Each structure stands twice: as C-alpha cells, then as structure tokens.
Amino acid sequence: MKRIFTGWCATAAVALVAAAIAGCFDGNSGEKSQVVARVNDAEITVSQLRTALFAKGEAQPTAAAAQQALDGLVNEQLLVDAALANKLDRDPTVVQAIEAARRQMLARAYLDRAVFPKQEISAAEQTAYYKAHPPLFAQRRVYQLSAFTVSTAALTADVVKELGLASSPDGVAAVLTGHHVAFEMQNLTRAAEQLPLEQLPQFAAAEIGDLVIQPAQAERSTLMLITGAQNAPLGFDSAQPIIQQYLMNVRNAEALDTHLKLARASASISNSDPALLVPTAAPLEPEPRESRLQHGAAVLN
C-alpha cells in the first residue's frame, strides 16, 4: 500500500525550508530541489513550497505558514493523482484548458522578460503626473451621485435642454417621465479616481445639482447628477505608489502595442470569415422590457 510520509521529519524539514526562504540559506539549486514530502510516487520540493508561499505573500514565512502551504500542496497532489487515475488529463475540455493556461503563461513570461521596459518610473515623472492632475490628488473629491441610465436615442435636444434646468433627482426623473423616457436610477458614491479620467475636469468644475452626461456605451447613456461632494485630497506620499503603478501600466501597454504592431507586420496571418465566428446557438430569451427598465413613476414612489 502506498503511503504519505509525515511526522517529525517532515515538520523539521518545513521549519528548515521556512528558515531558508527567510534568508538563512543561500538558496542554491540543491536546496531548491530538496524533497520536503512525498505523496505516493510524487515528490514535493523546496522550490514548489517556496512558490506556494510567495503566491500567498509569505516572503518571510514562519514554520506554521510553511506547514500550512505544504499541507495544501499535499492535498493538491492527492487530487492530481485521482484526476490522473481517472484519465482526466485526456479529457478534451481539460486538455484545452491546460493548453490555454500554457499559452497564457508563455505569453506572460515573454512580456515580462522581453517586451515590458525594465527601468523604474522616475521620481520626476511621478511628481509631474501628480501636479498635472489636481482633481485626482491635491483637489480630489468624493461625489454622491444619482445615476440615470437611458437609451441614447431618447436624449433629444429638447430632453437635454430640459435636463439642464433640473437640479435634483426628482427633477431629472420628472423630465424623463414627461418625455416618456424609460430609465434605471441608482444612487452612487464615487471618488475621483473611479470616474472617467477624461471627464474629471467636468466633475471638478461642477457644483451640487449639475448634471454630467457620460459617453454612450452600447446605445445607452448615463446621466450623473451630483447630489453631494466632499474634499478628500491625496498627498504625494500617499499617491506615489498609485501613480507609479499607473504610469508603469501605461508604459507597458504602449510597449505591448508597439511590439504587436511590429510582430503583425512581419507575421503571416490569415483570418476566417468573421461570419463563421458568430455562435449558432439560439440566443437567450430577453427579459420583458418592463422588468429591466423602471419608469419614472416607479422610481418616485
């Protein structure tokens, strides 16, 4: 009968691994391949345990944390053994999922090693961004909003003109109801960074009772009525990690875009007829319009 080896030896090994990961050992390849547990015919190594601990954010793990991570790896191996015994590694759905994960991991590894810039975002860049966006930082506000979602086609010139005279949720609802415009309404609280960046100047200049119409999406528009606002400035020290991550994301996106343009230009790519990509399954039956859209009278009651 095959067994799982446990006991004081495994616990001692885990304690040593925790010490090694914390920096007591030099982490050479021999230590990384050291076996800390065996599950049937499979071995669990220091390297696997280290990866599991880092994935949980345990850069300086205790023996207890290492033992918990090891228990998780043992449980995982038991499930893997059962899956292999049931030949799930040959199941078409599982094979496709494994291949998809492999493709994603390879693409991510290439991006990290060969595409994304390695240099740090400079302090000067971060300071410049902070100063260039006062609504996000020095003049940051948190807004209370009444959001009305309507069909973009319903926002005729007459409707928009009357909405410009409304300064309360009831007033906006009355205008929409008067023009037989169906809508959904909800109250929201949004900090400046949760709003569209291109509209921040509008929100920053707006007063209580002003209405900001957001860009249409999928033939739907959202009317954001400002019902309250509180100043909540963010100092540079607090904003610095956010700015650094944002600038890094922008830089990485630009590097990826440039790389893919060059790669596409030199690659041989043939596409199928887009019509063949449309699913042939029957669409789901849509909900009745009345259940998805609240008429103004329903909101006011």
Position 134, amino acid: P
Check whether residue 132 and residue 89 sit in a common domain: no
Give residue 273's identity as a one-letter amino acid code. Answer: D
CA distance 67 to 61: 10
Examine residue 67 and state whether it is found in any structural domain, yes or no.
yes
Looking at the structure, do residues 88 and 133 belong to the same domain, yes or no? no
When pLDDT is averaged across residues 178-194 and rounded to a whole number, the result is 95
Report which secondary-structure segment, H or E, holds 202: helix 200-205
Question: According to the model, what pLDDT value does residue 12 have?
Answer: 53
Residue 227 shares a structural domain with residue 130: yes
Task: Identify whether 120 is part of a domain.
Answer: no
pTM: 0.66
Single residue among 188, 213, 231 that ends a domain in this structure: 231
Phi, psi (deg, nearest 5) at residue 26: -85, -5
Residue of higher predicted confidence among 234 and 298: 234
Specify the pLDDT at position 203.
93
Point out the least confidently predicted range of 98-102, 199-203, 269-273. Answer: 269-273
Average pLDDT over residues 186-211: 93
Mean pLDDT computed over 218-239: 95
CATH of the domain at 174: 3.10.50
Query: Are 88 and 180 in a shared domain?
Result: no
- Which residues touch 29 (CB under 8 Å, ≥6 apart)? none
pLDDT tens digits, one per residue of 14-63: 555 555 555 544 445 555 578 889 999 999 999 999 999 988 887 788 88
Query: So what's the pLDDT on residue 280?
Result: 63
The pLDDT of residue 4 is 42
Calculate mean pLDDT across residues 202-227: 93
Residues 76-117: pLDDT tens digits? Answer: 999 999 999 999 999 999 999 999 999 999 999 999 999 999
Flag whether 75 is in a domain: yes
Cα 68 to Cα 188: distance, rounded to the nearest angstrom: 41
Query: Is residue 219 a part of any domain in this protein?
Result: yes
Q: ∠144-150-151 over CA atoms, to 5°? A: 150
pLDDT of residue 297: 34
In whole angstroms, what is the distance from residue 42 CA to residue 22 CA?
Answer: 26
pLDDT tens column, 212-224 = 999 889 899 999 9
CB 205 within 8 A of CB 247: no
Q: Band of the pLDDT at 270, cuts 50, 70, 90?
A: confident
User: Tokens 């921040």 map to which residue?
Assistant: 200
Lowest mean pLDDT among 145-149, 251-255, 281-285: 281-285
Q: Indicate the pLDDT class of residue 279, thresholds 50, 70 and 90.
A: low
Last residue of a domain, one of 231, 255, 277: 231
The answer as to whether 262 is a domain residue is: no
Q: Where are the beta strands (DSSP E) in the chain?
A: 35-39, 42-45, 141-151, 184-191, 211-213, 220-231
| Residue 101 within a domain | no
Same domain, 226 and 130: yes
Q: Are residues 130 and 227 in the same domain?
A: yes
Q: Say whether both 84 and 135 belong to one domain.
A: no
pLDDT at 292: 37
**Inside any domain, residue 194:** yes
41, part of any domain: yes
CA torsion through residues 143, 148, 149, 153, sign: negative
Q: Which domain holds residue 141?
A: 126-231
pLDDT band for 175, please (50, 70, 90 cuts): very high
Angstrom distances, CA of residue 131 to CA of 8, 239, 260: 59, 11, 32
Stretch 135-159: mean pLDDT: 95
Instruction: Quote the number of domains for the chain.
Output: 2
On whether both 89 and 130 belong to a single domain, the answer is no
Contacts of 155 (CB under 8 A, 6+ apart): 213, 221
User: Does residue 82 sit in the same domain as residue 141?
Assistant: no
Say how far apart CA 291 and CA 289 lie, in whole Å: 5
Last residue of a domain, one of 231, 258, 279: 231
Task: Kindly calculate the radius of gyration of the chain based on its CA atoms and give it in whole angstroms.
Answer: 28
Cβ proximity of 163 and 210 under 8 Å: no
In this prediction, residues 244-257 reach a mean pLDDT of: 96
Measuring CA to CA, which residue among 76, 222, 105 is closest to residue 154?
222
Same domain? 135 vs 176: yes
